[in-house]
A and B are shown apart, each in its own frame.
Chain A
């Protein structure tokens, strides 16, 4: 059996199903029984008093042995009330509306099942028995029995029970639907919280309004505090990482210089050796020059990485920085007539702590790279997020293989021209991290690369 989790509303609906069906049934059963008992009790009382009301006249008819009048009277009552009546004297049926055939026959009483006041219930009737006798009147002792059929009473009760069932079923359904609706409303903030947590994973700013529900607002507070802690931790981590990168750069420089220096040393030895053939010496001299250039390049890169030391950031409008950097790169690009540079800068100032000099260089590097890679269009976009800023540089070039991104960011791959290492991306990455942000790569909507400085 496979595991299929339900939505919260679905779970509530499923959990409530027995109650939605069971409660109306129980309610209607109780109502039916209560109504039946009440109706029977009222009917028994009504029957009893009706017989008592006609008893004086009936006792006169019994005394005068006027069976025709007894039959007329009993028939009239029976017809109007939907009952049967039997008048019994000395165990013999004196008058009956049930069957004329039982007249002058011994009365056969049916067993009593349930007593109800002056009456009792048999298998098919509510039987009310009243003894009638006229004071000082001879020959009047008799019993009048009224048989009220149970089936109409019980049928009425059944209809009432069914009505209650239908009504309570409808109320239960409405109540259930309303409850589920309220639950849906209630869990919407939870879904938003879930969404917010996902946005956090994507480093996006979550929007979590207050809900008015204590438990959910507590989760919201916890989430915001957690996010703030995470941001602080990220800053601290970035700072530590920056220091580690500097140390690492030194280590790599030292490590990377060891081989060419060693080779330089050996080459110098070859040149200085008197016995070295002129051709070999000449090759060694050329190699010596290449080695020197390589060392200078490595030192130059290391210098680029190391010269940026963390310094306090100034709270300023970042729009100028972005715009100037894009312009600078555009002017320096010799083939700029071929490319269209689009800037999307918000009209309203975006004030954010930043190092404008370094950030300009980083943006300029990204724009220069994009101009070189572009086939005709480069977009520069500045977007204000809730608590951060995104600077995106997109081109419509070939883009970069995502597997090589980390190598590019470390400066371990050559530039697009292929004749020198790519300095721009490691530098931009470094500057973004110095701002407590990072450099994100994704595919550009224009088809090429899109680098985003998120600070």
Chain B
């Protein structure tokens, strides 16, 4: 048979189509453990008690909620197959997927969803502030009701949530790391969170703790996960300091350092890939107005003005965005220009000031010396102390610290999340601030559904916060997520590293083999 030359392009196209069409998109779960370095083990595995990024990260791996964030801050259904919102923006109806199972094989029911959200507004919850918009949440939180009026199971696969008022960021709250669904009897088992059962892409295998802040949490892929089995079979979260993590990364013994606030110019990036993206966070020195001398507004303003945030950013994180205000760029309320404070004559502080700095930071000593030297040069009696992460978080929770250096991350991408920390009476109000004018602005913004109005109110809140000087804004970080060169499918998340979706992450076995085993 003779092949006429005019048929060749057609045959080529058919061949090309067959080649592209026939390529398999799926690959079985890999047995090679994926090792992720983290700055600390999770402080808790109970979603409604979580306040640190390590815990929030584990929450997103172990548990599923009704919704989840996409890498670009969109929403997609997790347990929910679909949802709807009524005309006045107060009543949500979620339809659950069929055949949902927890890691132990038990069915996920609407009652379990209601029970889990009820836990979020229970008196023991530390995240009540995110859910107080739910109808009846405050009564339940205060012990005035035995159930939450706004949470109802409706039939075999529907959950109804009613709000007290329209709250546009509520879907973000439900996609967040604290709105997770637990088995209905979780609270009846005192040891539940020692070996938690969720419905997320990974299931709990083992928690190894050791002296200091080191240890590791082993997770395995959930073979019946409703949205596809993760590509790595084992995910190890190994706690270590930032300096050690970079050493381990350079030696090829860990596969990502996304949990660490790296600047992108560290030597470790020569050996791996930098998946860089801005994140919605602000590095601040938080000032506790409950503690003298920061109970003095003028002193706080003077202290704030004494710290050159831009110099700090340039010295340590030059790739970050300058922070004229508390609200990160890319969110309503972001200030392009700093607020000029009217500073009077400053008297020297009567009491010495202590600022806690997390010891996990690799350049923690340089940071302390940099800030301390500059402030002392201006006459401030200030000491920057290195503090273990657990201890620092304990002081943060108990409001015992005078001042502390932290990165204020967001659990959901809305300015509301950040500014409500300064609302009077909010249990998470680290500053202890009580300012009726600020409270009025926050409430007004919360009740506004018009974008331009909300933005104007948020900017007013941001300017008011600057005048009240409860934070010294250092910079808005840009995440430099170091990943091993053999890692595929790693997509950074604009909100925070703990929302990175590890379902699609995998290790290139050929690359690992050529790299000498990858360890």
Contact = CB atoms under 8 A, between A and B. Distances in A.
Question: Which of B10, B72, B172 has its CB near the most chain A CB atoms (within 10 A)?
Answer: B72
Interface stretch (A60-68, A206-214, A310-318, A435-443): A60-68
Nearest to B168: A69
A72 B72 CA distance: 7
A104 B478 CA distance: 9
Interface string B449-476: 0011011000000000000000000000
A60 B277 contact: no
A162 interface: yes
A100 B330 contact: no
A104 B494 contact: no
Contacts of B493: 100
Nearest to B320: A104
A71 B330 CA distance: 10
Contacts of B10: 162
Interface in A51-95: 60-61, 63-68, 71-72, 75-76, 94
A101 B75 CA distance: 20
A75 B275 contact: no
A80 to B, nearest CB: 13
Contact of A75 (B9, B70, B172): B70
A99 B492 CA distance: 10
Contacts of A158: 13
B276 interface: yes
Given A100-B71, A100-B494, A101-B277, A68 B413 contact: yes
A327 interface: no
A71 B329 contact: no
Given A68-B414, A72-B73, A104 B455 contact: no
A65 B71 contact: no
B34 interface: no
Contacts of A104: 278, 321, 329-330, 478
A386 B483 CA distance: 104
Contacts of A246: none
Interface in A403-454: none
Interface string B41-79: 000000000000000000000000000001111110000
B452 A100 contact: no
A64 B336 CA distance: 12
A28 to B, nearest CB: 10
Helix, strand, loop or mixed for chain A's interface? Answer: helix
B336 A66 contact: no
A153 interface: no
A60 B455 CA distance: 10
B354 to A, nearest CB: 34
A103 B478 CA distance: 10
Contacts of A66: 330-332, 451, 455
B334 interface: yes
B451 A100 contact: no
A103 B455 contact: no
Interface in B238-297: 275-278
A394 interface: no
A97 interface: yes
Contacts of B455: 63-66
Contacts of A254: none
A171 interface: no
Given A103-B277, A104-B321, A104-B329, A67 B74 contact: no
Given A65-B330, A97-B72, A104-B478, A162 B9 contact: yes
A131 to B, nearest CB: 20
Contacts of B495: 68
Nearest to A74: B72
A94 B70 CA distance: 18
Pick from A68, A75, A76, A158 the residue with the most CB of B within 10 Å.
Answer: A68
Of listed A65, A94, A162, residue having the most chain B CB within 10 A: A65
A61 B455 CA distance: 10
A169 B4 CA distance: 13
Contacts of B276: 101
B6 interface: yes
B217 interface: no
Interface in B303-334: 321, 329-334
A169 to B, nearest CB: 8
B491 interface: yes
Contacts of A162: 9-10, 13
B337 to A, nearest CB: 11
Contacts of B454: 64
B72 A75 contact: yes
A97 B71 CA distance: 10
A101 B452 CA distance: 28
A356 to B, nearest CB: 71
A98 to B, nearest CB: 11
B265 to A, nearest CB: 15
B451 A60 contact: yes
Contacts of A304: none
A66 B278 CA distance: 14
Contacts of A67: 73, 329-331, 494
A71 B336 contact: no
Contacts of A34: none
Contacts of B331: 65-68
A55 to B, nearest CB: 15
Nearest to B169: A68
B413 A100 contact: no
A100 B72 contact: yes
Contacts of A100: 71-72, 277, 491-494
A68 B413 CA distance: 7
Given A65-B330, A66-B451, A104-B278, 11 more contacts: A64-B451, A65-B329, A68-B330, A68-B413, A71-B74, A72-B75, A100-B71, A100-B492, A100-B493, A100-B494, A101-B276
6 contacts: A66-B330, A72-B72, A100-B71, A104-B330, A162-B9, A169-B6
Which are the 5 A-B pairs with shortest beta-carbon distances? A67-B330, A64-B455, A68-B413, A68-B73, A71-B72
